[in-house]
């Protein structure tokens, strides 16, 4: 059963605003309007599309303060993190406005007996199913390339971020996007299944949980629809050595606590060599215990903010308790707020490798730390995962770290940096982390008809 679309302040657990789920009749109207808009949008010169998408990029940045406050109220993101996300969203849209016209140009191909041209043609209406953790960035990286391709978009956002969803559509319309090209819907699970199955919809992109991805992929497969999936992960973060262990711990903590630990590419499993392990754990405990509960709209130093919802915090609390029952140790934290969505920053060690808890994704402020005695053991532990999204390897010897990074089974891997953010680089994973790529010019090739035209001499 689907939840209601509502803004619930996670800092207080109070419902601020509700939004009505669309009726079945409204969904049919959306499908008809999107299909009609496609007939015109597909013929709009790509240079004209670029002007609109570029203006949307400007509007995101111009309104970043307003949008960041909405995200803080809806899912607890601190306003500085929200403003960073919105600026990056603008950068992504601008990247596609700047690069799609050249990338999508017709390409002549040498063949005997005639002339051949490879063309990238729009395919129609796409459904985007987006998560709450980065309510603007996730949409930008889906909408940017596909609007430039000439496709139309129906966007179903998370139930807890309906206000963000509405304002994104508003921004695109203000930027000059014709009516029907981008439509926000408040749809339930049954309606989503009907949208995917509708012959006017040509593909679906989902960012979310492994379970949601499997469900959507099954529906899409049954209806022979193209799918791009970006799902969960338990990203490894390997520290082979560190001359300054305190600094290494501080860098690892900053990465882990980003967005209150609610990021697909968080360093979910921190893997540390045994000679610095004890000192590293002590430093992580010290840092965690120095964090103070705070309001995301009034951010400061050494603060932690609420998770996205009370339900999310309760689920994380159950995961930690189950891990302890399996043999893990809580070094600090592990406490759930009485009523709101705050979960105390937690350091967890000794999670038994191979246990159910080991394979789970802890989507919140929990630092799991593992001790290894060799590079071989570190690689084996890193790759012992059902997922394969991102990861990082650290060493004062860059060559050593790179050799280990070469052995990690993920879609993205970093050396001596937790994560690099750029629209230029492709985003996506392997294993149960999904398939397909977002960002970079690769995203422009996911939902297009790579048609060849052959003219016989």
Which residue numbers are catalytic? 230, 264
Alpha helices by DSSP H, listed for 76-161, are 79-103, 137-149
- The phi-psi region of residue 222 (left if phi > 0; otherwise alpha if psi is between -120 and 50; otherwise beta) is alpha
Partners of 452 in the β-ladder? 118
**Residue in 365, 410, 21 with CA at minimum distance from that of residue 186:** 21
Q: Which residues lie below 8 Å from residue 346, measured CB to CB, with a gap of 6+? A: 288, 320, 330, 332, 333, 334, 365, 366, 367
The residue whose two tokens read 């402020």 is 365
Integer angstrom CA distances of residue 71 from 20, 294, 372, 437, 448: 19, 16, 39, 25, 32
**Residue in 62, 127, 107, 51 with CA at minimum distance from that of residue 89:** 62
Kindly calculate the radius of gyration of the chain based on its CA atoms and give it in whole angstroms. 23
The angle, 0 to 180 degrees and rounded to 10, between the axes of the packed helices 137-149 and 46-62 is 160
Q: Which residues lie below 8 Å from residue 214, measured CB to CB, with a gap of 6+? A: none
In contact, 150 and 99? CB cutoff 8 Å: no
Cβ-based neighbour number of residue 188 at 10 Å:
19
Q: What is the DSSP string of 22-75?
A: PPHHHHHHHHHHHHHHHHHHTTS-HHHHHHHHHHHHHHHHHTHHHHHHHHHHHH
Distance CA 355, CA 362 (A): 14
């Amino acid at each position: 059963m689907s939840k209601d679309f509502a803004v619930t302040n996670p800092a207080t657990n109070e419902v601020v605003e509700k939004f009505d789920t669309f009726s079945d009749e409204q969904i049919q109207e959306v499908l008809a309007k999107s299909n009609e808009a496609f007939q015109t949008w597909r013929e709009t010169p790509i240079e004209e599309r670029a002007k609109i998408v570029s203006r949307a990029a400007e509007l995101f940045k111009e309104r970043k303060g307003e949008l960041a406050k909405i995200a803080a109220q809806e899912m607890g993101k601190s306003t500085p993190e929200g403003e960073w996300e919105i600026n990056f969203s603008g950068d992504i849209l601008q990247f596609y406005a700047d690069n799609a016209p050249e990338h999508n140009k017709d390409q002549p191909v040498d063949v005997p007996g005639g002339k051949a041209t490879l063309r990238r043609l729009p395919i129609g209406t796409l459904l985007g199913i987006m998560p709450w953790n980065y309510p603007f960035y996730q949409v930008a990286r889906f909408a940017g390339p596909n609007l430039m391709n000439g496709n139309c978009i129906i966007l179903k956002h998370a139930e807890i971020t309906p206000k963000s969803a509405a304002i994104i559509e508003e921004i695109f319309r203000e930027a000059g996007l014709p009516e029907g090209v981008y439509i926000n819907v408040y749809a339930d699970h049954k309606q989503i299944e009907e949208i995917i199955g509708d012959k006017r919809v040509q593909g679906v992109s989902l960012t979310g949980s492994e379970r949601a991805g499997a469900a959507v992929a099954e529906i899409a497969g049954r209806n022979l629809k193209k799918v791009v999936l970006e799902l969960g992960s338990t990203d490894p973060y390997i520290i082979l050595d560190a001359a300054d262990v305190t600094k290494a711990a501080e860098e690892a903590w900053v990465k882990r606590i980003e967005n209150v630990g609610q990021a697909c590419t968080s360093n979910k499993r921190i893997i540390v060599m045994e000679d610095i392990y004890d000192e590293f754990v002590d430093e992580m405990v010290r840092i965690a215990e120095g964090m103070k509960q705070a309001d995301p709209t009034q951010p400061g130093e050494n603060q932690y903010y609420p998770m996205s919802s009370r339900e999310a915090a309760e689920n994380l609390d159950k995961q930690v308790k189950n891990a302890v029952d399996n043999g893990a140790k809580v070094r600090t934290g592990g406490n759930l707020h009485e009523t709101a969505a705050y979960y105390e920053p937690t350091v967890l060690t000794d999670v038994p490798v191979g246990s159910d808890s080991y394979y789970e994704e802890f989507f919140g402020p929990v630092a799991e730390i593992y001790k290894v005695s060799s590079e071989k053991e570190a690689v084996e532990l890193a790759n012992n995962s059902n997922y394969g999204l991102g990861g990082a390897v650290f060493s004062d010897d860059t060559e050593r770290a790179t050799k280990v990074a070469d052995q990690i089974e993920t879609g993205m891997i970093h050396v001596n940096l937790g994560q690099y953010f750029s629209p230029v680089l492709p985003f996506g994973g392997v294993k149960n982390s999904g398939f397909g790529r977002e960002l970079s010019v690769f995203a422009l090739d996911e939902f297009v008809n790579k048609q060849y035209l052959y003219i016989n001499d």
